[in-house]
Chains A and B, each alone.
Chain A
Amino acid sequence: MSQSIPAVSNSSRRIAVQAARASFLAKLREHVFINGAGGYVLVWVAFPVITLGMLGLLYRSRDPALLGYAVIGITCGAFISNALYYVGQILDEERLEGTLINLFLTPAPRLSWLSGFAFGGLFETLVSAACTVLLGTVVFGVRFHPNIAAVVLCFLLFILALWGLGFMFSALGLILKRSNDLANLLSSFVFLLGGIYYPVSALPVWLRVPADVLPFGVGIQALAAASLHDASFGTLAPQLVRLEVFAAVLPVLGLLTFGWLERKVRRRGDLEIY
């Protein structure tokens, strides 16, 4: 058969891009339009906004500096949740609908559709981040003095590290099932150690050790310093270096984990069993 088959693109890069775009659009459409404007956006907005409300009520009378930190922490928390829930949980949803095998049957690399799903969920996260910041400034009077370049750099590195972690989460979900439970467990863990409600320095000393191995605390600290106090690259240097390491290592680690655990699941033969 030397005939070309025009309906199927044969370049693997094209497939990857196509798959990523299609899954991105599918998620975006599902969450923004099908569920009705406001559907899941509401969830993603309610949680951080209410949490900030509680923290604000608590911190207001005490330490206004903590309030500023909490605004940044919770905004970043929304991105962390996105990585945890979307990349991990979407696989579960597909499994429930019985379409997971079909995803795995396509020639597109896993990376492509997983990323598509993750970025498709980013819409809600952006809205909720905006609402959090708005609540912080309007209701609790937090003032920003940003170093824009530093904020952008920190944010990109932070997202890259999260993206890598997302793959690890989804790989874990592949093998443990019930990614919803997994995401909830991990997020309660992350909210304790990730320096989201409070800086890592507020933790007891023995908890700071595991906290420092995670990219969250350092990322949020750097972002808070850059956006609230106009911190220069010089003052941020120690945190930036660590963040860069996370951003370089985690995506690679995530992909390796995913490939490894996927093989394991295939060997075990329960890919489609929920």
Chain B
Amino acid sequence: MSTRQFGQPIKRNEDPRLLTGRALFTDDVQLAGMLHVAFLRGDLAHARIRSIDVDGARQSPGVAAVYTADDLGDYWQPGPLLVPPPPVEQIEFYQRTQVPLAKEKVCHAGEAVAMVVAESRYLAEDALDGIFVDYEPLDAVVDLESALAEDAPLVHDDLGHNVNARVTQAKGNWLQAEAEADLIIRRRFSYDRGTAAAMENRGIVANWDAKSQHMTIWDTTQAPIAIRNGLAAMLGLSEHQVRVIAPFIGGGFGPKIMMFYPEEVLLAWATMQLGRPLKWIEDREENFYATTQERGQVHDATMALKADGTILGVKDVFLHDAGAYAPYGLTVPVSSQCTLLGPYVVKNYHSEFTSVFTNKPIVTPYRGAGRQHGVFVMERLLDIAAKELATDPIAIRRKNYIQPEQFPYANDIVFQDFTQLVYDSGNYGPALDRALDLVGYEAFVREEQPKRQAEGERVGIGVVSYVEGTGIGPYEGARVTVESSGKVSVATGIGTQGQGHYTSFAQVIADQIGVKVSDIHIVTGDTDLFYWGAGTFASRGAVVAGNAMHAAATKVREKILKLAGEKLEVAEEDLELVEGRVQVKGVPQTSISLGQLAVEANPMRGGVKPGTEPGLEATEYFGPERGATASGVHAVILRVDPETFNLEIEKYVVVHDCGKVINPLILDGQIQGGVAQGIGNAYYEQLHFDENGALLNASLMDYLLPTAPDVPNIVSDHIVTPSPLNPLGVKGAGEAGAIPVGALFAQALDSAFSDIGLEVREIPLSPNRLFELVGAASAGANV
């Protein structure tokens, strides 16, 4: 048997194409006769549209068409609700979803108002100057608390209020926990908005071929199959008439799973109107308005504890900023609600949230998807409790960890996938020990920190834990085919945005079929090649599609052995698959190549036994009973420059448990990239909206993404607690790096300024904001 590929740091199959500039991204699609689209976007966040005059644009050179909401007729419909509200008792839910083009009013800055189609993007943008919109400016809903005031302006007039949803989930008896507590910690925490800022902006090419009655769409989406089904329904086409291709995608991180973006709906419609292919590529400024964002929440949280640090219960009441529309249901705030519990035993929990409409861009999941907030609140409460109890922040965590023998551990509330929140597996103590060891905790807090602080330095340490629900259902599928060349081709429905699926999936298959990873060709995200699937989200690719790959490859292996047994006239048990051949164990001379076998499996003449299926091929699906629970510990030592308040991250440690690891190289990359985004989120990136809902920093010059000098080298290690819920024992890893960084920085900064009693209760920070907080803490004030 050749070496197992699963678990090896194999370099990626997809890289040569990407490295030579020969990978197809959406904007690389060029079609004969293609027209180009540009959008006029509202520059006010909230305004009634009195009239739109597009005559000037229609006269503009090279313009083929100009559309406003009125031109769409019955096709103008609010988008579908992607995720229905969870089955929680007494939930209030008010559905308002995005529209293709604003009709009566614009509800957030950058909402599309008109669409221009022209011979080139330059001409389409020229024509935008010829459109005149008469707006009546309205007061904007920006701040979450003011949004709920009696006299607040209304984002959706017909609703009569700005509430998107109210959800309460509880377990145990919070009031009793509060009554029995020796210590109550009560604080307000806030988290503000950032943007995913994938390096590739969104884009769509849509081509309706009237002669073949067939539509092809290239789309920067994480969910091509759902896009096909939805667009076909909207356009009155059969699903077989629509092919959606998600080619190479320059980063997804969540917002590219949102659907339907107005542009998707409009281009697919307009190519049928005009009979020519259309292309729209978002520019970076549009991306700041038209691509979804995340992270605005305000939490009023209370923790009840015993004097020995045991958590008795937590009560959390929070507001969630949904933006102007909420097509993604309550995935983000429900994730916050569930993730807050973390790796701890919390017997009594009361959590209620109000999701609020605001005149800001739409909120849908962005890497972490609400989990950051939950982790931030829980970890901060524990830090503050530890201070109050004069105990060590590590000890209080360890004391409250769920123990290995308690798994599966039921949390008695409903998770974002609508199943009960049950942790499948975990082992938290060893991860903490390992992280403390790697960061050098003892030596730092006992010796180094006191010494350096005494010398006037500001150095702090942080260690936080988190749990992440990953790999949720419903299902994914895979088809594995051995071709007559002996190479293997594979198709699946999910899209890929840089996660290395072409390689990690191939590793899973290689182990079953005994071929080289580089001889396995994987196609993702082409709906003509694989019909079924849900999409790439919630760190589920490796878990759900990965296990479908495993199932299909196992089936193909059975077929190979059966047929080879017949051909070689030996028992199947006596055969092995080695380097593209099936051979009698220990007798390589008696063998047949997979290519030859594939030819034999597809006879061109003569009879076959009834029930024979042609080819060495199998299609299988995998749907987990519920998600797999990943977990981890991050630790940091950071130094604050006393003059500039810039941070230097001296050490960053991640110890992560995502079950069995398919490819450690790819996993490390996911963790490191996630941490970099988390660092951006914690200390660099914040979208600044003014009181009118105008976005003040909509460019990469003003919205700072971490660059190479800002991100440290990360020391990482893994604890392996396989998930019992899937045959490969894997858990998702795509989001883990990003989730706990805010909580980690807060703890480390408190530690660096412990003498003045700094208590960080908000993220993102920045050098300016930290300077203010430190000033206020020294003065004993709250800001």
Physical interaction between A and B: no
